[in-house]
Structure 1
Amino acid sequence: MTDEVRAAMSELLAAERRLRGRDPHRPGDLSATQVRALFQLERGEACTAGELAKRADLSPASMTAMLDQLEQGGIVERHRSEKDRRQVIVSLTDAGHEILAARRAHIEARTREVLSVYSDHELEAASKVMRSLAGLLDGFGR
């Protein structure tokens, strides 16, 4: 069974890598990486691009390029910090909040649909296994 869990984890990680590599097909759509970063911005307070890059696990250069695109699309805005004028703060626009709310609703609906065939007990066990595997991965290389 350990081999089966390891294989399933590899499949999940590969699917996540493919998702991150997919570009949106329609103009104005957001990539999975952009959505992940925006969800991190939404969960916390407005912050600098560097702080957001850390939260979203992206390089600062990638984050800056991404924010340029998102700002042009009216999804985020950048402004000088009132506390420290050297810092540029990133925040979601009203349009950005609306786009994320729609994306979240879609993701949650699809997740409920896919997981509806499993019992609460099965989902609880799956959650425990995934957290254990996350801890395993975090422990490698230390």
Structure 2
Amino acid sequence: MSHDVRAAMSELFAAERRLRGRDPHRPGELSAAQVRALFQLERGEACTAGELAKRADLSPASMTAMLDQLEQTGMVERRRSDRDRRQVIVSLTDAGHETLAVKRAKIEQRTAEVLAPYSDEELDAAVRVMRSLAELLDSLGR
């Protein structure tokens, strides 16, 4: 059984790496990294690019380039902090909120389709297993 869990975990990590590496196929479509950053920005309050990079697990340089693109497309706006003029604060625009709402609806629909065959008990067990594996991964770097 342990071998099957390790194999499934490897498959999951590989799928996540592929998702991170995908670029948009159509002009105007957001990349997986952009969506992840926008979801992180939506979950918290407006923040600096550095804080957002940490939340989205991206390098500060990648985040700056990404924010340039997202600002050009109207998804985010940057402004000087009222408290510390050296800091630039990033926030979602109305268009950014709308785009994320559409993206979230698609993700939720697809998730519901994929998980529909499983019982509540199976899903509860999956949640416990995933949280245990997350704890395992976090403990490996200590």
TM-score by length of 2: 0.99
Q: What is the rounded CA distance, in whole Å, between the counterparts of 2:124 and 2:112 in structure 1?
A: 14
Whole-Å Cα distance in 1 between the matches of residues 117 and 32 of structure 2? 26
The DSSP-based 3-state class of the residue aligned with 2:114 is helix
List per-residue Cα deviations over 1:46-88 (Å, max 9, x = no partner). Answer: 0000000011111111100100010011100100011111110
Q: Report the secondary structure of 2:101's partner residue.
A: helix
Equivalent in the alignment of 1:137: 137
Corresponding residue number in structure 2 for 1:54: 54
**Number of residue-to-residue matches in the alignment:** 142
Give ranges in structure 2 of 5+ residues lacking alignment: none
4+ residue stretches of structure 1 with deviation over 6 A? Answer: none
What are the residue-to-residue correspondences of 1:77-96 with 2, within 5 Å? 77-96=77-96
Aligned CA-pair RMSD: 0.6
Q: Does 1:34 align with 2:34?
A: yes
Shift in Å at residue 2 of structure 1? Answer: 0.8
- Matched to 1:8, the amino acid is A
Aligned partner of residue 52 in structure 2, secondary structure: helix
Q: What is the CA-CA distance between 1:141 and the residue it aligns to?
A: 2.5
Percent identity, aligned pairs only, is 82
Per-residue deviation at 1:39? Answer: 0.2
Cα distance in 1 for partners of 2:102, 2:78 equals 23
Distance 1:17 1:33 in 2: 11
Counterpart position of 2:124: 124
* Counterparts of 2:66 and 2:140, CA distance in 1: 30
In 1, Cα distance between equivalents of 2:10 and 2:130: 12
TM-score (norm 1): 0.99
- Structure 1: state its 5+ residue gaps: none
